């Protein structure tokens, strides 16, 4: 068993192949966090400091012992009410308005397999792949029980955490805060987080943790472009290949907050969970509230190993369905080819060009439904505009399929325009505050997915189209943040944002169950909802609306810390780029897009003969390397924010195949030599360049690096395939 309870010491030991996590039950029934780090068989006893700390309160049970204070002890679930004045993970208000609880250990269970969460995404596993620890805590006065859930994936070095709050009393309670916590009793750390904006997401930032709170989060109702619900706490000296680091990834797609703070005793607390600003969840008697899951992982071999742990857990135990581990079809999307100006003729011509170039799928983006010639009307009316298309959708798809091209379609199910039949008939279906004019985003409003009847209505429209047409791909978009949080039927507005996510997940689960052969791609103006929660339903997410290859180097670099390449929607687009105006070589655009699901976002009919030939070769190359790119281990070889070259590597698990890719971001007069150093090669082996036949010593490559052939040209790219000579 990888989970043990040492009764003599009252310590739980959770073990993975390379890490150990220990929880202690103190004499008063509080749960203390004792250890998380490198694997050990020894128990973390005698490590806690006890002293009379001024202005740090003591539990009543401790009597005259002023050295015992929850304000300075590391805890598993710090909550408001036990004397801890630090940032807490759980805040409960009772029906009288009193805030606070007193949760103590009651019992525990250990069993094989992984726990499941009702209505929420979570990592899954067979009985031989994971184990579960459930610790029950109870507040006797409130008659509230909290079950702490731990899932241990030993082979992947991942421990999952969640909790279920059960109201067993006679009155309602209100949950104001719900999160997971990691406490560290000493150490100097950096917080690595990922900030951004629309069209420039997940910029990596490293900040020294001091005696202040560093907070990231989203108040937008989504995980957001501005911050990502993934954080890393690393030793100050940690690099890609060396040092200790800890990750927390939130398996949730709504608002969140993450806080890291060093306290008065130089202890560090890391918390990640639900956004608390608009959370006051009314929990009725005999009801349960499920706190979304957090994926924890530890590495003492640097950031690359930590990323590898997350890549594996997400690919193998978050993503599901037909396309979980399968290579995705190379597609062309109509958006940057024609925007709203689409019809059957231009789509069929686009499909014809795609077939000639070896592209496998055509995706019809926005503009095909209702009154939809721009982004000011039509959302909510998911009825095919056959007059605009010029023929029935099924007939157009048949013509495209006859060319050997699959067909995909764009939806934005969560949104509604005021200029739509849906809004005219059901204005209460939108999240709007009575008596106030709504704040618009992209001239659209958000549908109230906290109401099952709204979810049912939109689902029925979408299902009708899917049932009557041969559709093999859906791009699920969401193009504004949630602002007015008011449901016209909710008993308590503090429930709305959480219940909205339950409604969204229910909708997505229906699509997954009823249309298992359809490839679902998530999108929210690009990467505005790029999180592990969405990946449970959509095995890939459009990484960013910014398709500029040079900007994408940074966006995809930041994304790679917590998410696998197979989840990254990435396309080659036209130049000058529609977001930046930058011109980059077609070869370079292809190299960058290949570190993702790969496709095209341009009008193929406007390409020259030479450009078409390049694309034919790109498609062939990608199909040849797709398995290595998706299944291989991914390494970041440089930091594109601070280096003249952006370089990365895909290497097979056995080290036999290597794909090195790089883009030169700068060119200068009298250019200095540029080297990239691969990692993970088999020491002592010889590797051969499959194009040139040149042989390289693995040890020399990993120590000195490979010299890149620089020319007098902007944004040169490199794609070097090496095979180990056995």
Q: Tell me: the pLDDT tens digits for 561-593?
A: 999 999 999 999 999 999 999 999 999 999 999
Element (H, E) at 297: strand 288-299
CA atoms within 13 A on the CB side of 335: 23
Decide if 531 is catalytic. yes
Fold assignment, 3-41+52-317: Beta-galactosidase; Chain A, domain 5 (2.70.98)
Q: Report, as an integer, the average pLDDT of 387-411.
A: 98
CB atoms within 10 A of CB 425: 9
Average pLDDT over residues 483-489: 97
From the candidates 93, 365, 472, 531, give the one annotated as an active-site residue.
Answer: 531
Q: Which residue in 679, 648, 678 sits closest to 662, CA to CA?
A: 648
Please identify which residue in the block is written with the tokens 């039509």. 378
For range 44-68, the mean pLDDT: 96
Average pLDDT over residues 376-390: 97
CA 464 to the chain's CA centroid: 30
pLDDT at 488: 98
pLDDT of residue 380: 98
Pairwise CA distance, residues 533 & 531, whole Å: 5
**408 with 331: CB under 8 angstroms?**
yes
DSSP track, 396-464: HHHHHHHTT-EEEEEE-TTEE-SSSHHHHH-GGGB---TTSPPPPBTTBEEB-TTSHHHHHHHHHHHHH
Tokens of 2: 């990888």
**Is domain 645-725 given the CATH code 3.40.50.620 in the classification?**
no
| pLDDT for 703 beyond 90 | yes
CA 15 to chain CA centroid, nearest Å: 25
- Selection from 429, 425, 463 nearest residue 446 by Cα: 429
Q: What is the pTM of this model?
A: 0.98
Domain spans, the chain:
3-41+52-317, 645-725
Q: What percent of the chain has pLDDT over 70?
A: 100
Contact assessment for residue 706 and residue 674, using Cβ atoms and an 8 Å cutoff: no
Residue 452 pLDDT grade (very low, low, confident, very high; cuts 50, 70, 90): very high
Average pLDDT over residues 205-229: 98
pLDDT at 57 over 90: yes
Residue of 172, 375, 386, 611 with catalytic role: 611
Q: Is the pLDDT assigned to residue 453 strictly greater than 90?
A: yes
Q: What band does 712 get if pLDDT is binned at 50, 70 and 90?
A: confident
Q: How far apart are CA 450 and CA 462, in angstroms?
A: 18
Per the prediction, the chain carries an average pLDDT of 97
Please give the angle made by the CA atoms of 360, 362 and 367, to the nearest 5 degrees: 170
Cα R_g (the chain), whole angstroms: 27
pLDDT score of 485 more than 90: yes
Q: Is the pLDDT of residue 120 over 90?
A: yes
* The pLDDT of residue 450 is above 90: yes
Vertex 531 angle, CA 503 and 35, to 5°: 110
CB count in 10 Å sphere of residue 206? 12
Tokens of 440: 């618009």
Q: Let me know: does 524 contact 475? Beta carbons within 8 Å.
A: no
Residue with tokens 């503090």: 494
pLDDT at 623: 97
């Amino acid at each position: 068993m990888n989970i043990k309870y040492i009764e003599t010491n009252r310590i739980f030991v959770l073990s993975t192949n390379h890490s150990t996590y220990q929880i202690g039950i103190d004499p008063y029934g509080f749960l203390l966090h004792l250890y998380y780090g490198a694997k050990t068989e020894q128990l973390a006893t005698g490590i806690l400091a006890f002293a009379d700390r001024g202005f740090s309160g003591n539990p009543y049970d401790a009597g005259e012992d002023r050295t015992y204070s929850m304000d300075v002890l590391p805890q598993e679930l710090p909550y408001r009410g036990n004397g801890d004045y630090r940032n807490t993970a759980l805040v409960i208000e009772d029906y009288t308005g009193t805030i606070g609880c007193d949760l103590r250990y009651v019992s525990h269970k250990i069993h094989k397999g992984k726990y499941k969460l009702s209505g929420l995404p979570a990592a899954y596993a067979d009985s031989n792949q994971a184990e579960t620890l459930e610790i029950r805590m109870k507040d006797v006065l409130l008659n509230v029980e909290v079950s702490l859930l731990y899932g241990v994936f030993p082979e992947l070095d991942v421990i999952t955490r969640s909790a279920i709050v059960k109201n067993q009393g006679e009155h309602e309670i209100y949950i104001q805060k719900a999160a997971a916590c990691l406490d560290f009793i000493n150490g100097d750390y950096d917080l690595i987080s990922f900030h951004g904006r629309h069209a420039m997401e997940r910029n990596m930032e490293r900040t020294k943790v001091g005696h202040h709170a560093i907070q990231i989060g989203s108040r937008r109702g989504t995980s957001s472009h501005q911050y990502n619900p993934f954080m890393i706490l690393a030793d100050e000296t940690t690099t890609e290949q060396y040092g200790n680091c800890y990750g927390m990834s939130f398996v949730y797609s709504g608002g969140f907050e993450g806080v890291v703070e060093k306290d008065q005793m130089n202890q560090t607390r890391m918390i990640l969970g639900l956004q608390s600003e608009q959370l006051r969840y009314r929990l009725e008697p005999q009801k349960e509230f499920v706190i979304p899951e957090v994926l924890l992982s530890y590495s003492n071999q640097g950031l690359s190993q930590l990323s590898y742990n997350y890549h594996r857990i997400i690919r193998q135990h978050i993503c599901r369905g037909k396309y979980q581990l399968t290579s995705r079809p190379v597609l062309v999307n109509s958006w940057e080819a024609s925007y709203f100006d689409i019809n059957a003729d231009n789509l069929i011509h686009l499909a014809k060009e795609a077939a000639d170039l070896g592209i496998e799928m055509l995706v019809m983006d926005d503009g095909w439904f209702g009154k939809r010639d721009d982004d000011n009307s039509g959302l909510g009316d998911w009825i095919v505009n056959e007059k605009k298309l010029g023929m029935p959708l099924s007939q157009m798809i048949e013509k495209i399929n006859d060319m050997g091209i699959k067909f995909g379609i764009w939806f934005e199910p969560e949104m509604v325009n005021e200029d739509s039949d849906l809004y005219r008939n059901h204005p209460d279906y939108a999240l709007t505050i009575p008596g106030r004019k709504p704040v618009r985003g992209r001239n659209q409003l958000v549908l109230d997915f906290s109401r099952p009847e709204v979810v049912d209505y939109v689902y029925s429209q979408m299902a009708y189209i899917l049932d009557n047409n041969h559709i093999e791909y859906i791009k699920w978009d969401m193009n504004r943040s949630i602002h007015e949080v008011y449901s016209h039927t909710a008993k308590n507005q503090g429930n709305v944002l959480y219940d909205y996510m339950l409604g969204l997940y229910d909708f997505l689960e229906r699509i997954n169950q009823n249309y298992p052969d359809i490839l679902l791609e998530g999108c929210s103006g690009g990467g505005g909802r790029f999180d592990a929660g969405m990946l449970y339903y959509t095995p890939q997410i459009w990484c960013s609306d910014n398709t500029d290859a040079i900007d994408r180097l940074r966006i995809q670099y930041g994304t790679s810390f917590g998410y696998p390449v197979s989840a990254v929607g990435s396309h080659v687009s036209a130049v000058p780029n529609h977001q930046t105006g930058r011109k980059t070589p077609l070869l370079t655009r292809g190299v960058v897009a290949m570190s993702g699901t790969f496709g095209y976002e341009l009008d193929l009919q406007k390409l020259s003969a030479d450009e078409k030939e390049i694309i034919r070769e790109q498609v062939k190359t990608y199909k040849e390397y797709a398995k290595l790119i998706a299944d291989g281990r991914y390494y970041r070889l440089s930091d594109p924010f601070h280096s003249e070259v952006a370089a990365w590597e895909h290497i097979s698990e056995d080290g036999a195949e290597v794909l090195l890719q790089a883009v030169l971001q700068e060119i200068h007069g009298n250019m200095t030599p540029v080297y990239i150093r691969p990692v993970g090669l088999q020491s002592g082996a010889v590797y051969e360049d499959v194009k040139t036949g040149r042989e390289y010593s693995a040890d020399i490559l990993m120590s000195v690096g490979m010299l890149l052939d620089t020319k007098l040209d902007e944004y040169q790219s490199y794609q070097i395939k090496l095979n180990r000579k056995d």
